[in-house]
Amino acid sequence: MHLYSNALGTFVLNQNFQIREKELGKDSKDKFLKKFKNIKVIDENDIDSLRKALVLMREYKSDLIKKNTEIVKEDIKNSVKDDLFIVQTINTIDDLNKVINMLTKRLREWYSYYFPEASEFIPDNELFLKYVHMKKKDAMKEFGIKKSMGPDKEQSFVEPMQSLAKEIKSLYKQREEKEIYLGTLMDRICPNVKAIAGTLIGAKLLSIAGSLRKLMLFPASTVQLLGAEEALFKHIKTGARCPKYGVLFAHQLVQKADKDRRGRAARVIADKISLASKVDFFKGEFIGDKLLKEVEKKLAN
């Protein structure tokens, strides 16, 4: 006799692989093992018997659908780990940056028909928003100009631009809030990665990898090139120069390094990030400050 248990329940099969007894909806393996002597458990090592049991399961179509649907919902629920919230947050910050840039560019274009000197003299975006709210007269005095290339307009022309500026300003605020939130999330979930990579770069690496688990599984050489996928692909396909860094290019220790030593800096940092991600994944201690010191020391000579 054979014993077969699966997601549906437990089945006792006779020599000819016909169902002799069954219990659906629970695991009755132990019970049946006690009840029947000389019973052999079917598992994946005995493919012939397994296939015979699997034939019998064809009669249980609606149970298979019901049970699998139930299980899959639970599985999907359990797959949601907190690091996915880091990924969503950094992606939101990226999106906010894009939206802010796009709208600011539009506002500059628009405002410049009224007061082009403001856009010309204030390259900083956030500061420019302030000038949109200022009286044209006052701003001209501040810039030290007597005549503007833009025509004077009544307030009803200016107000719509000012209200857009206010909206953009609030997007900056939104971004700031999300960055703070991101920092606290990372303190909880991957403090070691954060210590070495910094909040934004660390989160970006996680986002490209997809999760902390995936980041942890990458070799350091892959971490070094995360964000440079296109260049890497080109390198393999056409023999173009191999990239030396991706996201890590923005790391201050890479920026600080001499031009010809930036690749090495990225490698040293990637090494430690790789280690840090493993420690974080397995919820180890905080050693981020120690690791960062080691990086700095290595890069100093």
> Using CB under 8 A as the criterion, which residues of the chain lie in contact with other proteins when the complex forms?
5-7, 44, 47, 50-51, 54-58, 60-61, 64-65, 67-69, 71-73, 75-76, 79-80, 233, 236-237
Cα 3–chain centre separation: 45
Smallest distance, other proteins to C-beta of residue 7, A: 5
Q: Which is nearer to other proteins, 8 or 193 (CB)?
A: 8
What does the alpha-carbon distance between residue 265 and residue 296 come to, in Å, rounded to a whole number?
9
CB 92, CB 178: distance < 8 Å: yes
Q: Which is nearer to other proteins, 44 or 124 (CB)?
A: 44
CB 217, CB 278: distance < 8 Å: no
Smallest distance, other proteins to C-beta of residue 97, A: 24
Q: Which is nearer to other proteins, 103 or 232 (CB)?
A: 232
Q: Which is nearer to other proteins, 76 or 300 (CB)?
A: 76
CB 201, CB 250: distance < 8 Å: yes
Q: Is the dihedral of CA 291, 294, 296, 299 positive or negative?
A: negative
Of 104, 137, 100, give the one whose Cα is nearest residue 122: 104
Q: Is the dihedral of CA 154, 160, 163, 165 positive or negative?
A: negative
Q: Which is nearer to other proteins, 7 or 102 (CB)?
A: 7
Q: Which is nearer to other proteins, 135 or 237 (CB)?
A: 237
Smallest distance, other proteins to C-beta of residue 232, A: 10
Which long-range contacts link 140-148 to residues 24+ away (Cβ below 8 Å)? 143/117, 145/117, 148/115, 148/116, 148/117
Q: Which is nearer to other proteins, 32 or 128 (CB)?
A: 32
Smallest distance, other proteins to C-beta of residue 182, A: 20
What does the alpha-carbon distance between residue 22 and residue 53 come to, in Å, rounded to a whole number?
13
- Residue 119: in which H helix or E strand, if any? helix 116-121
> Which residue do the tokens 């296939």 mark?
51
Residue 2 CB-density burial (10 A; 0-12 exposed, 13-18 middle, 19+ buried): buried
Smallest distance, other proteins to C-beta of residue 268, A: 28
- Residue 19: in which H helix or E strand, if any? strand 19-24
Smallest distance, other proteins to C-beta of residue 6, A: 4
Smallest distance, other proteins to C-beta of residue 229, A: 12
